[in-house]
Amino acid sequence: MKIIIVGGGIAGTSLYLHLLQHLPVPPAPYPPHELLIYESHNPQPKASSSSSPNASSSSPAPEPSAKPNLTPSTTTIGGGLALAPNGMRVLARLSPSLHTAVLAQGFANERFVFRAARGWRLSSMPCTDVRVPGEACVSMSRMGLWEVLRGFVEASGEGKGVIRYKKVVEVDQGEDGRPAVKFGDGEVEEADLVVGADGVRSVVKKGVFGEGFEPVYMNQAGVGGFVKGRLPDEVKKEKGMIFTFGGNGFFGYGSSAPEEEESLMWWSTYHTPSLPTSNDLSIPTITAELRKRHAAWKDPVIQNIISSVAGSVSSIYPTWTTPSLPHWGRGGLILIGDAAHALQPTSGQGASQCLEDGLALSLTLSHYLSKVYNETNESEQSGSVVDLQAAIDATASVLYAIREPRVRKISEAAKKMDRGKGDIGFFGEMIMCGFMWLFGKVPWIGELRVLSSFLLLLRLRFVTIAG
């Protein structure tokens, strides 16, 4: 079977590794499997190695060298991310050595610490899971994760040359009805299956749905980067990621690398109904906005980061999500990762859901292919294209049935959290602080739908009054 994966980000590279592991060996007369990744973005050096000023020093910030990258691809925007325990578990199942390599370049967090902009520490909760063996929530630079995944792809199976750096401009049915990808130079390549792992602005999604189901701007933007310097105690000793909520936005930080590298990743999210344009995205504008937004915030770590921010901004990201889709592909096209379900960054689950997609897709496809191959063996008939297409169609349906409800639930939970990251005013802020404090004392309170809905209503009311 020939499979083209469009997009070599987290979803595309991990899917490749999952497929290598699970696809059954085809009997004659089927040809051997051929797996290819087309990736439009040429690799850049690691983002976290920037010579940013010390987080705890007051040395003047260097002049910015360039504008931050504004691109629809989350791979290219740099910045940091955290892989939740469920994502780490998928990696461990895929390959213990891949799991070890990802862990080795990141930082294993044990707690989430919630703080208020006014300086109060509200609560903290474990972010490891309770299963055995347990997994931590591992924070890292996005580029670091990508480099490890890409290295494993290149080192495995037919690895070298599997990732081809070429942009796909269109996806359609080929002459014999098989899916085909078209490149900028006019070249066309057919396959049995084309997987869209090409992010929130997926070209493969256009092949499936035309112009429908465009990404939705969430009235939110964020900025983030890395600073070098001594790690704060809450990060180093408690192994914590810090989430600070204020009336006018949100600020987070945590370690992005092993302790000895002293690299702190940070991000700040704010409400902005108008989509930022490239004019709003110059380093001086971003820096001025950040200073204004967080000027009164009490945490000295945040103030130190902001004082050195001009040299450390590595990403700026208007938040886009994928609207709920009625299916994730047909006719030999299947969508996974952000192409199928770009989630709010607040969910902390985007990358982990990519990994779960890859595992689910490869297991389902392998199941249906095995059936086709077994039937071919039993009847000693030559395998037909129709059988393969049926296996791919069944895979697409089952993948959606298994995965979509889970992803939708995560997205709905994140939407609730997002409401606490915008402009919520003084009263909204107080209510949120109270709730988070209470949540630390009585964790099951978060399960009470009635109470949380009531608090939400109250908060929305205050926002309306304040606005």
Size of the site for ligand FAD (CB under 6 A): 36
Quote the Cα angle for 177-360-352, to 5°. Answer: 120
For ligand FAD, which stretch binds (CB under 6 A), given 46-54, 77-85, 122-130, 149-157?
A: 77-85
User: Could you say whether residue 359 binds ligand FAD (CB under 6 A)?
Assistant: no
Tokens of 286: 């971003």
Per the CB < 8 A criterion, the answer to whether 456 and 412 are in contact is no
User: Could you say whether residue 9 binds ligand FAD (CB under 6 A)?
Assistant: yes
Which of 203, 231, 235, 241 touches ligand FAD by CB under 6 A?
203
In this structure, which amino acid lies at residue 338?
D
Quote the least distance from Cβ 353 to ligand FAD, whole Å: 7
Pairing label, strands 216-228, 179-183: unpaired
Which of 179, 207, 240, 348 touches ligand FAD by CB under 6 A?
348
User: Could you say whether residue 337 binds ligand FAD (CB under 6 A)?
Assistant: yes
User: Could you say whether residue 387 binds ligand FAD (CB under 6 A)?
Assistant: no
What would the x/- binding string for ligand FAD be over residues 111 to 150, using CB under 6 A? ----------------------------------------
The smaller minimum CB distance to ligand FAD, of residues 37 and 365, is found at 37
The smaller minimum CB distance to ligand FAD, of residues 286 and 354, is found at 354
Q: Euclidean distance between the first and final Cα of the chain, in Å?
A: 57
For ligand FAD, which stretch binds (CB under 6 A), given 155-163, 211-219, 346-354, 400-408?
A: 346-354
User: Could you say whether residue 247 binds ligand FAD (CB under 6 A)?
Assistant: no
Residue 197: name the closest of 309, 333, 79, 324 by CA: 333
Quote the least distance from Cβ 244 to ligand FAD, whole Å: 16
212 backbone dihedrals φ, ψ, rounded to 5°: -70, 165
The smaller minimum CB distance to ligand FAD, of residues 47 and 388, is found at 47
Which of 19, 33, 40, 266 touches ligand FAD by CB under 6 A?
40
Question: How far is the C-alpha of 37 from the C-alpha of 197, rounded, in Å?
Answer: 9
Quote the least distance from Cβ 2 to ligand FAD, whole Å: 17
Strand partners for 109: 137
Question: How far is the C-alpha of 75 from the C-alpha of 83, rounded, in Å?
Answer: 15
Per the CB < 8 A criterion, the answer to whether 125 and 111 are in contact is yes
Per the CB < 8 A criterion, the answer to whether 98 and 314 are in contact is no
122 backbone dihedrals φ, ψ, rounded to 5°: -90, -45
Which of 135, 189, 192, 198 touches ligand FAD by CB under 6 A?
198
Strands of 70-136, DSSP E: 80-83, 107-109, 111-116, 121-126
Name 178's Cβ contacts closer than 8 Å, sequence gap at least 6: 190, 191, 192, 332, 385
User: Could you say whether residue 10 binds ligand FAD (CB under 6 A)?
Assistant: yes
User: Could you say whether residue 251 binds ligand FAD (CB under 6 A)?
Assistant: no
User: Could you say whether residue 191 binds ligand FAD (CB under 6 A)?
Assistant: no
User: Could you say whether residue 189 binds ligand FAD (CB under 6 A)?
Assistant: no
Question: How far is the C-alpha of 443 from the C-alpha of 440, rounded, in Å?
Answer: 6
Which of 3, 5, 11, 388 touches ligand FAD by CB under 6 A?
11
The smaller minimum CB distance to ligand FAD, of residues 40 and 50, is found at 40
Residue 422: name the closest of 281, 243, 218, 252 by CA: 218
Per the CB < 8 A criterion, the answer to whether 344 and 222 are in contact is no
Strand partners for 220: 271
Which residues contact ligand FAD (rule: CB under 6 A)?
6-12, 38-41, 73-76, 79, 81-83, 167-168, 197-199, 203, 222, 317, 337-338, 345, 348-352, 354
